[in-house]
Structure 1
Amino acid sequence: MNFKLIINSKFNKELPCCKNSCELYDQITGECGIHNKIDTTNPQIYHRCFDKLPYFSYSYEDCSSISEEKFYEQDDINFFEIAGDASSLTYSDYPLKPDFSSNRDDAIWFVASDRSFGCWIINHYKKRLMPVTDGTVVRGWNKNVYQSPYPLHNHDSSKSIASRMAWYVDNEGYGQYVLLLNGKISMISSPRPAHWKK
């Protein structure tokens, strides 16, 4: 169990989560309107989601100090099924070909050398990234965030969303998995912590 410590809070507010902060949260079913079977009370999930629509304005400046170490510890990242997606695909060429288009001009399809998985690659780094191995990779704020033009590990996503996974390389060269929905990044595996420095 992870605890989040808020010290000297100016306001007695809970950390934002889907249940208390997102318009996509369905009060009747108690579920997210986009992703299936998520913990709607977990602030980490809310923080990873790009589809969140806030009920109220919240900023971390409301607190003078937040213990971020536990908040950003996310080694076992998983991505959630999309509501309305079929749980299985009757015919699929994955991983050799994607089952869904990326709906983006800047994405190319990548297949691992052992053909164990595939994903889209979206590279926003302006410099050239050299090929790396697991032993030479420069790690970021999480063990699965690193400088590489392509992923070195499998995203292990379910078949219904595997063709929506993308390896996103940011403008500083750090890559991580994201989930694409209608051409937009819907969920990120590990948002960059405010306190993290190279």
Structure 2
Amino acid sequence: MLKIVVDNTNIKEKVTTGEKTCRKNCVLFNEETTSCPIFKGLDYDNPKIVKRCLEFNDIEEVEKVYNELDYQNSAVTLIEDNSSVDTDMDFLFDLTGNRKSLSESNYPIKPDIPFNEKMEGLFWYTAPDQSFGCWVKNNCEEPFGIIPSSIDEVKQGWANNIYCSPVPLHDHKASESLKTRMCWLVDKEGWGQYTVIIANDIKFITFPKPNKW
């Protein structure tokens, strides 16, 4: 059941079916500051945020299994919209710290943040035409053959822009704040998809692999 709630500034659509939210169900939510210590400025009452966050820790599940707050992994979805993470990603978190100015950036030839110094298995990839760059983390257990020259030649996966390739063949089209955080993640079977690096770890994925795939 959907209920429209009106406040002094805008109209928000609230889900009242008992779906989990950051405010009610996550152990990370700070009641004193009424915010998340990792992702600032979100709508903490929106269940869609929970479905997109790998840091979500259900209070009931944690209390059931642990006596202290240990992290658990959750399957989440972050939809890649028309090969772009612009609108879906930027509203999810407020990246802190001082960013380099555009004049100082070496993107896409070099990354602006050296995540490979703290994360194993990463290497920086620049497209042949230098139109974009991203990190690559290849977990495939079998060696790849010849790298396809275009996305039209690859074996397609269970969702759009997920395919078998050791490197990405399409531009992620991320915003300036996310370009050097984008990572092409290849799983053990060779399926690749874009992910995002936050706090020296891969935090967001596009489409988790279906169980029956």
> Contact 1:89/1:160 (CA < 8 Å) preserved in 2?
no
Q: Which has the larger radius of gyration?
A: 2
Identity %: 33
Alignment of 1:12-27 (within 5 A): 14-27=18-31
Q: Runs of 5+ in structure 2 lacking a partner?
A: 1-15, 63-75
Q: How many residues align?
A: 173
TM-score w.r.t. length of structure 2: 0.67
Aligned with residue 94 of structure 1, among 92, 107, 110: 107
Alignment partner for residue 162 of structure 1, among 158, 179, 192?
179
- Shift, 1:171, TM fit: 1.0
CA positional deviation for 1:190: 1.9
Matches of residues 1-198 of structure 1 in structure 2 within 5 Å? 14-27=18-31, 32-36=36-40, 38-57=42-61, 74-76=79-81, 77=85, 78-80=88-90, 81-86=93-98, 89-90=100-101, 91-102=104-115, 103-130=118-145, 131-132=147-148, 133-194=150-211, 197-198=212-213
Q: Quick one: higher RCO (CA 8 Å, sep 6+), 1 or 2?
A: 1
SS where residue 122 of structure 1 aligns? strand
CA distance in 1, matches of 2:160, 2:29: 31
Indicate conservation of the 8 Å contact 2:52/2:78, yes or no: no
How far apart, in 2, do the equivalents of 1:140 and 1:21 lie?
33
Distance 2:174 2:40 in 1: 14
Matched AA of 1:83: L
Extract unaligned runs of 5+ from structure 1.
1-11, 59-70
Q: TM-score, normalised by structure 1?
A: 0.72
Q: Secondary structure at the match of 2:178?
A: helix
Give the RMSD, CA atoms, in angstroms: 3.0
User: Are the aligned partners of 1:75 and 1:142 in contact in 2 as well (CA < 8 Å)?
Assistant: no
